[in-house]
Amino acid sequence: MKRTAIDSFFKPSTPKKPKYEANTNASNHLSYPHPIPHLPTDFQDQLAFAPAEEGKSINDRLDLDLVYYQPYIPSSIALGVFDFLRQELPYYRVQYNIKRGPVETQINTPRYTTVFGVDETSRFNEEGEIVDAKTGKKAEKGKYKCTPRPIPQCLDYLRKLTEGTTNETYNFCLVNYYADGKDSISYHSDDERFLGPDPAIASFSLGAKRDFLMKHKPIPPGPEPVPEPKQVKLPLGSGDMVLMRGKTQTMWLHSIPKRAGDEAKKGRINITFRKALVKAGTENYYQYNVGTGGVFRWNAKEKMMAPWAKGDASSIAGTIGPLNGGVGEEKRGGASVTDDGDLKT
């Protein structure tokens, strides 16, 4: 064996460059299962130039009003933001029952979900307490059947940017993690009454490419036949954003179908910002996106979501320490996450 080959064999391997440098601050609230780190500073700096591309209006079909950003989040950080949110957020696999006539069926949500925010009738004060949006007085005990949680800084930073771009306001952030191409969501519309008429919803895609399909709801017969609009297919890439507004939710359905092939082996995160007007919206979102089950965290070694318990040393959150109550920032030792997802301090 040549000397250079021997030297190369015994030379320590160069550690992989971290995908992101962890922020030393974290959002903290009693309703969080663990502190949630702030968005890495480098990501914040690059997001200052968002949107990376101007939005393209898609309104050439009946009742359709979209703005499509390809991408909104710069491609240089889109996958890093995906890794960060997958690693740092708490997720849930919600189960619930629906009743069709006398038959009750258990539904297992085919994706991991989490949610933050509270409707327009309430807000969080500086101490993290829920207060009346108008008077500022503490909300009466039992107002909600759930425990609303403030939007953590890592998502609130993106919410504020999105509000500036879209000229809309949002008080809720829903996050879906699709583990692979088998995870999906069927055709539906976000037209709940608690969103009000013609709601605006900003939907971000991070990670694997997935098709976003849309079709018009059935058109009732009238004196003159109306041709059914052509379906829409958007190939969402990492960092893309679709703004749905106007009559889109009222008149159109959208879905993320199952997918096969190499891209199907990769995970995807969907973030939606929306505005709930009344407490029914808060209770609905927490029931179907948090539920009553346990917390899941990304397990980097196993490369999968796994059940998590407070104090679990295998997770990043387990190295931070206990919650201190209220809303605040918690300092962490300098840490970074490698390409393999391992914690390095």
Each residue of 42-94: pLDDT tens digit? 999 999 999 999 999 999 999 999 999 999 999 999 999 999 999 999 999 99
pLDDT for the residue numbered 102: 84
Per-residue burial over 24-43, b if 16 or more Cβ lie within 10 Å, else e, is: ebbbbbebbbbbbbbbbeeb
Question: What residues contact residue 116 under an 8 Å CB cut-off, 6+ apart?
Answer: 149, 150, 151, 152, 155, 172, 173
Task: Give, as one character, the DSSP assignment of residue 126.
Answer: T
What pLDDT is stored for residue 202 in this prediction?
A: 98
Chain segment 169-187, per-residue pLDDT in tens: 999 999 999 999 888 889 9
pTM: 0.84
- How far apart are alpha carbons 239 and 315 in whole angstroms? 26
| Cα–Cα distance for residue pair 127/213, rounded to 1 Å | 42
| % of the chain beyond a pLDDT of 90 | 70
194: CB partners within 8 A, 6+ apart? 119, 276, 277, 278, 280, 281, 284
Q: Reduce the DSSP state of residue 338 to 3 states and report it.
A: coil
- Can you tell me the mean pLDDT for 204-226? 93
Query: For 225, what's the count of Cα atoms within 13 Å in the CB-facing half-sphere?
Result: 2
**Alpha-carbon separation of residue 143 from 104, 176, 287 (angstroms):** 28, 27, 15
Token pair for 181: 């191409």
- Report which residue type is found at 127: E
How far are the Cα atoms of 119, 157, 210, 293 from residue 164, in angstroms, in the given order?
20, 11, 26, 35
Greater confidence (315 vs 221) lies with 221
pLDDT digits (tens, 9 = 90+) for 187-212: 999 999 999 999 999 999 999 999 99
Give the chain's end-to-end CA distance (angstroms, integer): 37
How far is 169 from 276, CA to CA, in rounded Å? 10
Collapsing DSSP states into helix, strand and coil, what is residue 261?
coil
Annotated binding site: which residue ranges?
Answer: 176, 178, 188, 191, 254, 268, 272, 274
Taking each helix axis from N to C end, the angle separating 153-166 and 75-88, rounded to the nearest 10 degrees, works out to 140
Q: How many CB atoms lie within 10 A of CB 301?
A: 10
How many C-beta neighbours within 10 Å does residue 327 have? 18
Q: How many Cβ atoms sit within 10 Å of the Cβ of residue 52?
A: 20
**Paired sense of beta strands 232-236 and 304-308, if any:** unpaired
Residue numbers in the known binding site for substrate are 191
Phi, psi of 44 (to 5 degrees): -60, -40
Residues annotated in a binding site for 2-oxoglutarate: 176, 178, 188, 254, 268, 272, 274
Q: What is the mean pLDDT of residues 152-181?
A: 97
- In tens, the pLDDT along 233-254 reads 999 999 999 999 999 999 999 9
Q: Which residues face 255 on adjacent strands?
A: 213
Task: Please state, as a whole number, how many other Cβ atoms lie within 10 Å of the Cβ of residue 184.
Answer: 14
DSSP string, 67-92: EEES-SS-HHHHHHHHHHHHHHS-BB
319 has a pLDDT exceeding 60: no
